[in-house]
């Protein structure tokens, strides 16, 4: 089993998950059910995080089939370009879905504008995901190809444009690295502050006070991910051969999903000033700290272990 197999398994989740989340959201809107709306937002957030390993294993699959004599590289470029756009919209949908969850925990109600923003973005995302899936299927299934369409899509594709920009523009890579480490500092600062409270180190601070800092942590996560993806797309053959890179992304996804615990559930929210944390809080803090430190370590080791 290699990363191409992993991509074949994962690439179904963003499309099917987006469809399921969209259907659940519109059913919740029809029934005016707040709990179902929250459930749909959880689906969008999880699918956004799963799209990260889906995208990077797709690049690994690209490397694996690159030597095939029957491969039309224009098809691959079209698929990569469609995947970049679709993934970007899914990440945006997941971000607004997370914001809705955060607002609900903080203010006990959903913001109407945010619900409809998620609904609109999810419709666009589903269409883009279906297009990306179609282009991916065309690579190995000639029976579904439309004559001439793929060849045109490959010329001046978004994937190649971004790749050339990252390589040929002298300031692009240093700028992305600067943003990457700035986002990491913001993300780690908020994550460790939350974990210190859950470990019982900052018991005099109510968790609701720390909770308001979560958007800064998510902002850091977004800056880190966008800058990281730009660097990855600029030189993905370098990254897909380094096992530590995939370990880093595993810890990133697990750490991102863990945000649901402190965002969605009442368990941590009820930790008022002076209230000691329980064993489950400490276990969560230790596990998530390990994940973020693992992501930081394996990411930093890429230049030394490749």
Domain parsing of the chain, residue ranges: 1-157, 169-306
Do residues 52 and 88 touch, judged by C-beta distance below 8 A? no
User: Which pLDDT band, with edges at 50, 70 and 90, does 70 fall under?
Assistant: low
Q: What angle do CA 238, 219, 122 make, to 5 degrees?
A: 85
Do residues 150 and 72 touch, judged by C-beta distance below 8 A? yes
Q: CB atoms < 10 A from the CB of 231, how many?
A: 18
Judged against a pLDDT cut of 50, whether residue 145 lies above it is answered with yes
Judged against a pLDDT cut of 60, whether residue 246 lies above it is answered with yes
Q: Which range is least confidently modeled, 87-91, 282-286, 291-295, 299-303?
A: 299-303
Mean pLDDT score, 218-246: 86
Q: pLDDT value at position 151?
A: 47
34 vs 204: CA distance, rounded Å: 33
Terminal CA-CA length for the chain: 21
Q: Which range is least confidently modeled, 70-84, 146-160, 287-301?
A: 146-160
Do residues 90 and 51 touch, judged by C-beta distance below 8 A? yes
Mean pLDDT score, 12-41: 93
User: Which pLDDT band, with edges at 50, 70 and 90, does 153 fall under?
Assistant: very low
- 233-269 b/e with 16+ CB inside 10 Å = b? bbebeebbebebbbbbbbbbbbbbebbbebbbeeebb
Judged against a pLDDT cut of 50, whether residue 123 lies above it is answered with yes
Q: What is the pTM of this model?
A: 0.87
Q: What percent of the chain has pLDDT over 90?
A: 37
Q: pLDDT value at position 260?
A: 85
- 3-state DSSP call for residue 49? helix
* Residue 104 neighbours by CB under 8 Å, 6+ apart: 34, 38, 110
Q: What's the maximum distance between 2 C-alpha atoms anywhere in the chain?
A: 68
């Amino acid at each position: 089993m290699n990363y191409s197999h992993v991509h074949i398994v994962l690439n179904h989740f963003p499309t099917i998950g987006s469809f399921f989340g969209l259907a659940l959201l519109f059913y919740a809107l029809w029934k005016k059910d707040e709990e179902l709306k929250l459930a749909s937002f959880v689906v969008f957030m999880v699918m956004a995080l799963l799209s990260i390993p889906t995208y990077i294993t797709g690049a690994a699959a690209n490397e694996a089939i690159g030597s095939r004599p029957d491969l039309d590289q224009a098809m691959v470029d079209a698929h990569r370009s469609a995947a970049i756009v679709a993934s970007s919209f899914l990440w945006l949908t997941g971000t607004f879905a997370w914001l809705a969850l955060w607002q609900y925990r903080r203010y006990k109600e959903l913001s109407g504008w945010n619900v409809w923003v998620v609904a609109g973005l999810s419709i666009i995302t589903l269409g883009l995901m279906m297009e990306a899936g179609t282009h991916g299927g065309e690579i190995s299934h000639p029976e579904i190809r439309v004559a001439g369409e793929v060849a045109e899509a490959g010329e001046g594709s978004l994937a190649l444009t971004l790749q050339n920009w990252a390589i040929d523009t002298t300031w692009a890579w240093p700028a992305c690295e600067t943003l990457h480490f700035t986002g990491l500092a913001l993300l780690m600062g908020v994550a460790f502050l939350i974990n210190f409270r859950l470990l019982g180190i900052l018991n005099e601070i109510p968790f609701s006070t720390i909770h308001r800092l979560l958007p800064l942590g998510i902002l850091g996560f977004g800056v880190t991910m966008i800058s990281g993806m730009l660097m990855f797309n600029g030189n993905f053959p370098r990254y897909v051969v380094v096992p530590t890179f995939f370990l880093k992304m595993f810890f990133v996804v697990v750490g991102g999903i863990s945000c649901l615990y402190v965002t969605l559930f009442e368990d941590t929210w009820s930790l008022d000033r002076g209230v000691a944390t329980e064993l489950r809080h400490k276990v969560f803090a230790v596990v998530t700290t390990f994940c973020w430190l693992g992501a930081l370590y394996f990411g930093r080791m890429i230049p030394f272990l490749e």
